């Protein structure tokens, strides 16, 4: 299985990129390659605006929004697009975080387990957010989101050092 790289334009919104950037930076986690690519593209566009294509008075907000890929339209709001996909990825990230914490705790002799069914159950029990409302996400749903988004939330350096591309081998 090859590492999934999904550019913002193809499968993500710019808002999702900013969410991932904030999560990674606040957790001192390496940015995924697609988020770095997004930031580089925005930085280049902002630089062009300050040098080559200086926006006219009254058009600055629109130019910056376009550079950041946050420009909406009559039937498109970048702040609501991709909400479900972002939510699924967030849950997958919670699985990765829980699995990693349990793995380290088990190595320290603290009795935690990194067994997948336990991790899925723990995430399902702990996950509460506005998207889920009052209902609790099921263990099966957590598992489904993990398998759908696991290649997006596992840091690239783990893929590089792994002997195989099986997730269990990567996360050892």
If we measure between CA atoms, which residue out of 110, 49, 126 comes closest to residue 41? Answer: 49
Rounded (10°) CA dihedral 149, 152, 154, 156: 160
Is the pLDDT at 68 greater than 60? The verdict is: yes
DSSP, residue by residue, 7-63: -HHHH--HHHHHHHHHHHHHTT-PPPHHHHHHHHHHHHHHHHHHHT-PPPTT-HHHH
Distance CA 108, CA 8 (A): 39
Q: Which residues contact 81 (CB under 8 A, 6 or more apart)?
A: 13, 15
Integer CA distances (angstroms), 17 to 37, 41, 85, 90, in order:
10, 12, 12, 12
Distance CA 132, CA 148 (A): 18
Is the pLDDT at 53 greater than 90? The verdict is: no
pLDDT tens per residue across span 116-155: 888 889 889 888 776 666 578 889 999 999 888 888 888 7
Kindly state the average pLDDT of the residues 78-89: 76
Per-residue confidence band for 5, with pLDDT thresholds at 50, 70 and 90: very low
CB 166 within 8 A of CB 103: no
If we measure between CA atoms, which residue out of 11, 25, 14 comes closest to residue 68? Answer: 14
Q: Can you give the residue ranges of every domain in the chain? A: 1-80, 82-172
Task: Show the tokens assigned to 55.
Answer: 């926006």
CB 49 within 8 A of CB 55: yes
Per-residue confidence band for 10, with pLDDT thresholds at 50, 70 and 90: very low
Give the residues across from 76 on adjacent strands: 73
What is the model's pTM?
0.52
């Amino acid at each position: 299985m090859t590492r999934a790289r999904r550019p913002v334009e193809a499968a993500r919104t710019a808002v999702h990129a900013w969410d991932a950037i904030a999560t990674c930076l606040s957790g001192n986690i390496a940015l995924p390659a697609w988020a770095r690519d997004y930031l580089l593209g925005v930085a280049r566009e902002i630089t062009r605006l300050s040098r080559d294509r200086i926006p006219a008075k009254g058009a600055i907000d629109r130019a910056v929004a376009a550079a950041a890929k946050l420009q909406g339209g009559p039937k498109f709001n970048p702040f609501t697009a991709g909400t479900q996909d972002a939510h699924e990825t967030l849950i997958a990230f919670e699985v990765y975080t829980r699995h990693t914490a349990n793995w380290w705790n088990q190595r320290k002799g603290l009795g935690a387990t990194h067994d997948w069914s336990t991790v899925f159950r723990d995430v399902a029990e702990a996950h509460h957010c506005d998207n889920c409302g009052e209902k609790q996400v099921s263990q099966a749903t957590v598992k489904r989101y993990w398998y759908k988004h696991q290649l997006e939330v596992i840091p690239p350096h783990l893929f590089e050092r792994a002997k195989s591309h099986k997730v269990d081998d990567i996360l050892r």
